[in-house]
Each structure stands twice: as structure tokens, then as C-alpha cells.
Chain A
Amino acid sequence: MSKRIWQHPEVPANETTVSWRSVGQLENTPEFRTWLEREFPRGAAEMADSEDAEVSRRSFLKLMGASTALAGFGMAACRRPESYILPYANAPEWVIPGKATYYASSFPRPEGATPLVVTTFEGRPTKLGPNTLHPDNSGTDAFAQASILDLYNPARSKQVLRDGQPSSRADFEKALAEIAKNKSAKVGIVFGRDDSPTRARLAKEFNENTKFYAYEALEGEKVKAIDGGQKIVVDFAKADRIVSLDCDFTSLDPVGPVTPFFSRRKPEGASYDKKASADSMNRLYVVESAYSMTGGMADHRLRVKPSQLLIVAAEIARQVGAGVFGDVEAPDADTKKWVTTMVEDMKSNPSAVVAGSRAPEAVHLLVAAINAKLGNLGEGKPVKVVRTDAGALAGIEELVADLNGNKIDTLILFTPSNPVYDAPSDLAFREALAKAKTSIHFGLRTDATARACNWHVPASHYLESWADARTATGVYTVVQPMIFPLYSECASEIEVLTALLSEDGMLMTGEGEVGAPSPAYIAVRKTFEGIAGEGEAAWKKLLHDGFLAGSKYDVGEINFAGRVDAAIKAAPKGGELELIFATDASVYDGRWIDNGWLQEAPDPISKISWDNVALIAPKTAKELGLYDEIVPLQTDTAAVPPDHEGEHRTGKLISIKVGEQTLEVPVQIGFGQAENTVIVSLGYGQGFNADDELGRPTTDEANVSLVGVNSGFNAYPLRTTAASYFAVLAEAPAKTGVKYSIAATQEHHSMYGRALAREISTMTDEESHKDFDAQLANVKKQGIDSHMPPNVSLYKQEDRNGQPLISDKIHQWAMAIDLSSCMGCNACLVACQAENNIPIVGKEQLAKGREMHWIRMDRYFASVNGDQDNPEMIPQPVACVQCESAPCETVCPVNATVHTEDGLNAMAYNRCIGTRYCANNCPYKARRLTSSTTTSATRLSPTTFTKGRSAKSRLAPPLTSSATRT
């Protein structure tokens, strides 16, 4: 008998909110309904394609049958296999086998380093966590969590390359020595935009023949606007109203530590200990084109095309009295009304206005003027301009000009970006690079730039290097190595700089002679002594805490007067249809393309993994005639969908043309996006091999590993210096008729009417949200709860004497997630993957719904009052909720999943036989099977609390003396 189909009323009677996760759900397409009714996609139960069939159960037994028999007769099967214990010859200090040792370090980044506490086991780092002692601690985001995988990535660069061919470290050392000894050679050194005091100090020691540049692909025009080596830092604790002009400051475009922002949004206070009061909460206004996570948190959101950002900024400036700038168009009536209401709100509260890094220079200057006028700018105020240690460094345009003018003999690239791949295409960086006599690239991956340079030197990972960094507000933070460089040819940036500064140019890395410290250690220690004085005590405290207490940046100032008009003239003009080159939440600018965890983590907004797509707003898609391409509403073969399901889901490719360059990219619907925009994220399409679905040229195959190959579409060729954030499309995108498979997770694990994400409002207008208590009472009846009969539990809650049946009366576990604060950034998803060794499954398996993540991040769009063009975004993290009366525990035929005495749902992996009844019964669809064939080692795993951190704290601590009194 087939599965019973419940006919739920779609939405409770008085419910006005419509929520949806995907276009299919919204349009209620036949494909979606079919997909929904069958829990797993068609074909997921079998291993249908030819490759999989080779390993079907029958053939497995056939293959193994012979060797199993042989093993039985052989001597090896009779004896117990010997295993060995190999202790150290000389025990290292502090290492206790089986116990973790924790060290403070940090992850250097352009927006300020992320302070970390690294968990190491026997000298090997295994997990990164935030350094809670650090004043700028804002947790760790998905990139920081995934960065540990790069340390162990087998595709990491291990060998010195000479013109793209394997060479040796000895050869490079000779070349480096030549360069170092030649003090009159013209050297250009390109850093990233992360700030390092030691690097800045060493840079000052070079002579006048060495010129320094800094380049990051997505630095935007902010570095031009906030010039002189300064940057903006926002103290969100001080701001009651925050206005973001396309600044995704909570995740991809930080302007200061972000935890204070979230703390101000908790009505009970950051520690949930005060009485709930809406008065202390901040309010966020966001003006943006695409949905971002900050936009998801926004209280009020305005969608504009990127060219209109300038108009909005000018209007705000006009209304607050910061100035009237004539050359800017006037906003339309709706925008003006929105701005007026917002400005009213801002005038009477301390506020902070922030602009996204990639907005035009004019917007940054206007924002500075607005902040100055509102009194937000300065020491002790929400917005501050600070001076970095790096100082003013020349940018990529000047670099290319110098290269083309033959002003650089030797070019050394330390930047983590990949200029041959990601520099604006009109700069023709590859050709300019060839003009340098010698070019040296230094990096973790053998990417396009590595192969285009004369030398490529594998970089030490930051977990293997001595360095220092500054966090967002300028706190001096150390980067200390956890382990010697895993590959002997690796060198760190400071080691190379030290070699260049030395007389003989000898490159020393790690510990040269046994026991001698790395030159990077000596350099960092010297820098620190210059700041904090000499002596062991201060140094040891730095290593222990990870930072120098009380350190911060000096305050600077921004001179915007007189620059605004010229900047407005130079600002890029808009057009009817605008293509936005977006920062990607999985690969950023492309540097993480070989990181499997990040690639598999679905994009927080579009929920697409392993690829990028072009996102278009639904209205615009309909106008351009593309909507039917994406969501066929009626097909001849509706009973058997030609695509749109599981591994057969595809997106149709559209062709986008900017200037002479064309990009063919699959198109999907982007809800909440501004109309007349097309959004493509950057960083993909770096290399293809023979297995590429579209048969793209394989010339760049060596630039990526097997993780990043055949992944996505490269939008960088369309990007120029004039159009580095957005480009105007002269013509509408053309249909190509070609299909490309897409791994979208947004329809996986549908909730079948169980309302997980529930929302109520603190608004008290007359229309619908009158009474908070009434809303609370109403929200308990959302989804299935609106029509479910009272629950009759099969579990006894109390024993015969009326005592609750909780085994351990002292310890009971609980985990709480503050859903009001959750922005859906995937940091928890990647952290869980790091902690629990959750495997990645790859694009094809993920499309079938077999992603292994123990936490999934559902993302709902919800429109109140029917405005589906500007919906709210509600992220809902779903992990195993450790049900007390767990439906998965009762149905396991072998009792592999049980409830522990202290309230956790536990999984005994070795007992599981792969029935998957538990996954079937889980109302949250939180259970995953780790093996796809039925062998004796299947495991179905929901629970993480029984090992790692929580298990540690359950171990018996040593008894106190009172219990053992003698």
C-alpha cells in the first residue's frame, strides 16, 4: 500500500503570509507536486547510470565472493591481525595523546583578521574556533571554518614551478638570491589588502627601487574613496539606526566587528538576561540590488538597480542637509518616499550609514558627507576613519601602467587574488605581466597567475606560518604556526621578504638549522617588541591570548569636500538592463574554488551548489520571455518531467553580451531582486576537463583541482575597470536552448506543511499586527498545527508513581538557536562539517538530494500582503532537534538509535543496517545515510552531541578533596 497522502489545507484560514522556498513551490508546478509527493527523487533508490551499475549489489558479491573465500582459507583469516603502538621517541612538550591542545592564532583577511583558537591533536590542527577573549571577536564565518581544509587539501600547491613546469626549491633560491643581491633592480611587490604590522615594517626597509602595490579582486572603489591607506570602521554597538547602501556588512563585506550589531537586535540583551524591550533594538535599512544576508536581516529594504545607488545616496544627502549635488538624477516618487521616512527616523537617533566596497567612489564620498552631517563620524562615534599600518599603496591600474611602461624588472605577487584571472579585462594583465623581466607568484594554488609567472612558489598556509595581523579596529593579533609546513618547498610571505632584505638573499623557512627559529618568528617578535616593549612576559602573553590588549588603529580623517562632484561625473552610468558582478558566498572572488566544503555549501540565497547561475527577478524574467524557460508551467510530458528533478534538473543557458565579450550562463529566478538586473557571481569557471557537460575548452584544466574543475561560468572577461561592479547590457539576454544541470538544494527535504519557520512582528499598526500576545497565540497554530488533533504520544512521559522518566536528573542537554539573529550564512553548516568529518558528495549526488550536511539551512521567502516582488527572507537552520520523544528511535528495527540518559538522540553506527526507517519518520528530515550501498557499515547519523566538545565535559572531573577525605 503506498504512502498515505495527507490533504493539508494549504494555508490556515486567516493567514495572510505566503511563504515559499523555490519558484516551483510558488507556481505549484506539476513537477514540483510530483517531486513533493515522492520523498526522494526518482532514481535515487537505484544506482541507475552505467557507472553506478558496475558496483551494484550483485556484482559486488561476485567480485568479492572469490576473494572472500580465499581470505577464509588463507592463514591471515585465522590469526588475529597484529596492530602496533608507536609512541614518540622523544615526547614533545604539552602533547597528551587523545587530548586537544589549543593555541591562539588568527586568519589574516582584508577586512580585518579573524581571531581564532585552533584545536590541535598531537600537533595537527583539526578545528578552528573563535577567540572569545579577543575584543574584536565576531565568531568565525564559513570561510574561516573552511580554511582549515586548505591546509590538508591534496590539490594544494606543493612544488616550485618555473614557467608552469615543475622545478626545485634550490633553483628558486638561486634566483631569489640574485634578485636580493641586486639592490638597484626595480622591484614591484604586490600584497593583498590584509594589514600586517610586520609586513609594513619590513616594507619600509626596502630601498627606493622597490615599489609596493596592493590588489584584491573585489576591493572596489572604496579604496579610492577612503584613500591614504585608511579605512572605515563601524562600531555597531553605538548605532541605533543603520543604513546600508548595498553593503553586505554581516557577511561578505564587513566594515567592523559584526557581533555588536546582532547583540543590539536581541531585545533581552546579548546574554538574554534582561527584560525584553524593543527600545534597545537597532533598526536596519538596506538599499540593494540582489538579496544578501544583510538584506535578509533588514527591517526595511529598498531594491534598486546598482546605478541608482548614487541617486539614493544623493537624495539622502540632500534630505539630511549634507549638500545638494546637481548632476544626479532625481529619484522616483516611491524611492523618495522611502528615503524621506527613513531620514525622519535617522535624524533623532545615533546612526551609521555604510556603503558597499564596490559601490562607486561618489557613493562613498556622499556617505562620508552624510555621516559627518549627522554627527556619526569621529572618535567615540559609530563611524570612524582609521589609519592602517600598510599605508597608501598603489593599485592594480598603476601596476599595469608601470608594467607596460617597463618600469618593473622583477614583480613579486603575494596577493591572494588571481590577477591573470580576475583583474578587469581591459587591463590585459597577462600581457602586462609578460613585460616584467622576472615574475614570481606566491600562493596556495597553482592557479592562472601561478602558471603565467616565471616562478611560482608554494605558500605556507597561515596555520603553518609566523605572521601578525590587525583585526578590524586595529587590535594587534598574532598568527602563529601550529605545525611545520607540510611540504618542504613552502615558504611564508615574511620569510621571503626577509630573504629579499638580507645581504645574501638566502631563503630560510621553517627551522633552518635544527632549533634555529624561522626568520618570520624573529621578524614578528621584533615588530612586537617595537610596539609592546621587550621581555618574555609580554611575548608569552601575546602567544597565549593571541592579541595585544589595548592596541588599536590611530584615527584618521577623510576629506570628501570638493571631491564629490568630480566623483559623480566619473561614476558609471546606468542603463535599462544591468548585469551585476556579484561577490560569491562560496568562492568569494574565486580563491576558494578548490575547497570542497565551500563549494558544496549551498549559496545562502540561491541555494545552488557547485556552480554559479544568472539570477533574474521574476517580473523581469517574464518581460524578457525567460520565465517559461525556467519554470515551464505546462508541458506535454507533465507526467514524466523531462527535467527539473534530482540529477536531471537543469537550467537553460542564456547568452549575455557586454561589449565584445559573451557569457553563456544558466538562468534562475532570484526573488527579492531589483527588476531589470541580472546577477552573476564571480569566481567560477576557472578550468574545465574532458568531462565537462558543455564541452568547454580544456586549456585551463591545470589551474584547478578535481574539486574546482567544470564548476560554473567565468564572468570576469565581461568585467572592465569602468564596469567593475555592474555593466549595462546593450541587448536583452538571448536564449541559447542549451541545458546545463544544476544542483539546487532548495526543494530538498520539504517540510510537507510542517511550519518550521514561524514569524511574528513587533509592529503595532492597526491592520493586522495589533497585539503581540494575540500573534503569539496565533503562531502556535501555523502549518500542520492549525488542524492537527491533539497529540496522543506513544511515549510514556511519567512512570507509575507520576515521576518524570528522565534518567539523569542532573544533566540534560539542550541547544538553542536564536532564530531572530540567524542570517543564514552557512557558518554553522561548515563548522559542523569540519567538526564531524562530514564528507562532501559532489554535484551529481547532491542534485539527487544526497547531501550529507547535518545542519541544513532552509531559506524561505515570505510575502506579507501579497507583495511577492519584495519578499522577506527567513533563514531556518534545521539540525537534528534531539526530540525527547523521538519518532526516529521507535522505528529502528535494530535499535541503532537510542536516547541517552542526558537527553540526546544517539546513533550507534555499527548497529545500523540501513533501513532508513528513521529518516522516513523524522519530521524535520534531519537524518542522513552515509553510505549508499548496503554493506555492513551503513550509518545513519543525526546527532553530533555525543562526541567532541560535549562528550569532553561529560567525562568525570577529578573528585574534589572533600569526597576523598582521608
Chain B
Amino acid sequence: MANFFPRWTNILPFKIAICAGSLGAGAVAAFTWYGTPKTQAVGYQPSQPIPFSHKIHADQLGMDCRYCHSFVDVSGHSNVPTSNTCWNCHQHVQKESPKLQPLRNRMDPALKHPDFGKPVEWVRVHKAPDFVYFNHSAHVNRGVSCVSCHGRVDQMEVVFQDQNLSMGWCLECHRAPEKHLRPLEEVFNLKFDAEDYLAKSNREDFKGLKTQEDLGLKLKEMWQVQPRESCATCHH
């Protein structure tokens, strides 16, 4: 009767607490690792000096991406258009719109504005760290569309970051490029859907292909696509 509980029960609450704590911590850790995004970049949507809408220009007006981002297929940078590209149309179009005032200040000599000749200060949305070198032309010339990395820009009123652009994310595609390859003439067609395309296509060599993966594997073989995975591919 004197020692009802055996000795080992002295330490039991402590042990239970530790176990429960560890389980809890484990659950939190697991949730943090698997349940939360690895980067905080997705969804970044800064406001721009001129509220340029890709939905109007790329979707409604049907402009090709390359009218403005003209060097994407020859250079590492996909250039943001220079002001004279905008001015080509907007010296005539929407002449009264206050949204375009910053552009007019910079481009119209008649206004004699102090900002004349200065660049428009766009806020950068997609940025890889300085120790990474990404080359647009290498990807665009091998069938990787804008959509794969930038999302449906043609539906964005204000550009936001759609993918996390982390190294792991890049490697996912490098290890399995078939998920993102498409015929070159479809690279800038942001509405492309592989299954619809294949269903409608009567190309001899696409016969029997049904999904994006099928198409991608076929193109990978046709073009001998061998995405590099060594460090020096991006970290020079």
C-alpha cells in the first residue's frame, strides 16, 4: 500500500511531455516543410508606375509577346520594352488617359517636362539572385513557353510572380523537360493546351500522341534536347 505507484512512474509525466512535445514539434515541422511554400516569392505583385495591363495588350489586342520583349529569342535578357516602343502607338492612342501621363512626360518634347528622356522605372517582378545566370533565348528556342515560368501573363491585369523560380523548381524541368516542351510556333501562344493541340493536329509525327508528356518526349527526341544539370549551367 505504501508505494502504490512503481518508481518508474516518477519520471513518466516528464517523459510523456517530451514525447508529446516531440510529436507536436514533428507535426509542426512536417507541416512547415511540406505544407508551406519554399519561397515567399510567389504572388509578388508590385504596383508599377504605369498600370500596364498585359490582358489588354496581349489578350484583347492579340499582340505577340515579342513585339515588346523583342530580344527574348536572341539574348539572355528578355528586354522590357523601351519607351519608344510604347510611344509607337500611344502617341496616338489614349492620348488623354491619365494612366499614360508618366510616358507622355518622358516622350513628348512638346510638354517640356523635366522627366523628358528619362526611363520609366518599372518595378522588377521576376528576379533570380545575382549568382545565377538565366538565358531566355536558350529556353525559348527549344520550345519552353513563357507560360511555363511566368504563368498566364496574358490574363494578368497587373503582373505577379506565378512560379517560385527556385533552383529546385528549375531542376524539376531540367530533369523532365517533356512537361514543358511544345512546338516552336506555339511557344508564344499562351492559350496553348497540349491535348487540344494534339487532337486537332494532323502532323504525321504527332500521330498517336495524347498528352503534354507524350508531345514533350517526342520533341525531346526530335530536337535532342539535353538540359544540362551541372552547376556551371547557371552558376558561372
Contacts and interface: CB of A to CB of B under 8 A. Distances in A.
B204 to A, nearest CB: 10
Interface in B48-66: none
A89 B131 contact: no
Contact of B141 (A85, A907, A908, A959): A959
Interface string B16-60: 000000000000000000000000110010100000000000000
Interface stretch (A484-492, A706-714, A893-901): A893-901
A947 B133 contact: yes
A96 B119 contact: no
Contacts of A904: 232
A946 B80 contact: no
A84 B121 contact: yes
Q: Could you tell me the dominant secondary structure of chain B's interface residues?
A: loop
Interface stretch (B82-90, B92-100, B146-154): B82-90
Interface stretch (B7-15, B190-198, B209-217, B222-230): B222-230
Q: Could you tell me the dominant secondary structure of chain A's interface residues?
A: loop
Interface residues of B, number: 51
A955 B106 CA distance: 36
A909 B235 contact: yes
A691 interface: no
A955 B135 contact: yes
A549 interface: no
Contact of A957 (B46, B141, B183): B141
Interface in A924-966: 943, 946-947, 951, 955-959, 963-964, 966
A958 B140 CA distance: 9
Contacts of A85: 80, 121-124
Nearest to B122: A85
A898 B230 CA distance: 7
21 contacts: A86-B120, A86-B121, A87-B80, A88-B119, A89-B84, A89-B118, A91-B82, A96-B71, A906-B230, A906-B232, A906-B235, A907-B231, A907-B232, A907-B235, A908-B232, A911-B231, A946-B236, A956-B137, A956-B141, A959-B184, A963-B222
Given A87-B120, A898-B230, A955-B137, A97 B75 contact: yes
Contacts of A900: 228, 230-233
Given A901-B230, A964-B183, A955 B82 contact: no
A90 B84 contact: yes
B71 A98 contact: yes
A87 B131 contact: no
B122 A86 contact: yes
Nearest to B77: A98
Nearest to B234: A908
Contact of A951 (B40, B85, B123, B236): B236
Nearest to A907: B232
A83 interface: yes
Nearest to B235: A908
A959 B107 CA distance: 38
B74 interface: yes
Given A83-B127, A88-B119, A98-B71, A958 B231 contact: no
A901 B184 CA distance: 26
Contacts of A82: 46, 123-124
A536 interface: no
B228 A901 contact: yes
Nearest to A909: B131
A906 B106 CA distance: 45
Nearest to B224: A810
A896 to B, nearest CB: 8
Interface residues of A, number: 40
Contacts of A964: 183-185
A51 interface: no
A907 B124 CA distance: 28
Nearest to B133: A947
A906 B231 contact: yes
Contacts of B236: 946-947, 951
A966 B203 CA distance: 8
Contact of B185 (A956, A958, A966): A966
A80 B228 CA distance: 30
B166 interface: no
A89 B83 contact: yes
B208 to A, nearest CB: 18
B138 interface: yes
Given A85-B80, A906-B230, A958-B141, A91 B85 contact: yes
Interface of A: 80, 82-91, 96-99, 808, 896, 898-901, 904, 906-911, 943, 946-947, 951, 955-959, 963-964, 966
A942 B19 CA distance: 51
A693 B89 CA distance: 67
Given A947-B236, A964-B184, A89 B231 contact: no
B79 interface: yes
B142 interface: yes
A862 to B, nearest CB: 37
B45 to A, nearest CB: 12
A911 B80 CA distance: 31
Contacts of B229: 901
A966 B201 CA distance: 11
Contacts of B117: 89
Given A83-B127, A906-B230, A959-B223, 19 more contacts: A80-B41, A80-B44, A83-B123, A83-B124, A85-B121, A89-B84, A91-B82, A901-B228, A904-B232, A906-B231, A906-B232, A907-B232, A911-B235, A947-B236, A957-B141, A958-B73, A959-B141, A963-B222, A966-B203
A96 B183 CA distance: 26
A96 to B, nearest CB: 5
A906 B228 CA distance: 13
A906 B80 CA distance: 31
A88 B83 contact: yes
A105 B67 CA distance: 34
B114 to A, nearest CB: 14
Contacts of B129: 910
Contact of B131 (A80, A99, A910): A910
Contacts of B231: 896, 898, 900, 906-908, 911
B66 to A, nearest CB: 13
A84 B235 contact: no
A907 to B, nearest CB: 7
Closest 7 CB pairs of A and B: A906-B232, A947-B236, A98-B77, A946-B232, A900-B230, A91-B82, A98-B75
A906 B232 CA distance: 5
B71 A97 contact: yes
Contacts of A91: 82, 84-85
A908 B231 CA distance: 6
Contact of B75 (A83, A89, A99, A947): A99
Nearest to B115: A89
B123 A99 contact: no
Contacts of B226: 808, 901
B124 A899 contact: no
A134 B235 CA distance: 36
Given A85-B122, A909-B131, A946-B236, A97 B84 contact: no
Nearest to A958: B141
A96 B84 contact: no
Given A899-B230, A900-B232, A87 B81 contact: yes
Given A907-B232, A910-B235, A87 B119 contact: yes
Nearest to A966: B185
Contacts of B46: 82
Contacts of B233: 900
B232 A99 contact: no
Given A91-B85, A909-B131, A964-B184, A86 B119 contact: yes
B68 to A, nearest CB: 10
Contacts of B183: 964
A161 B118 CA distance: 33
Contact of B142 (A898, A946, A956): A956
A537 B123 CA distance: 44
B186 to A, nearest CB: 11
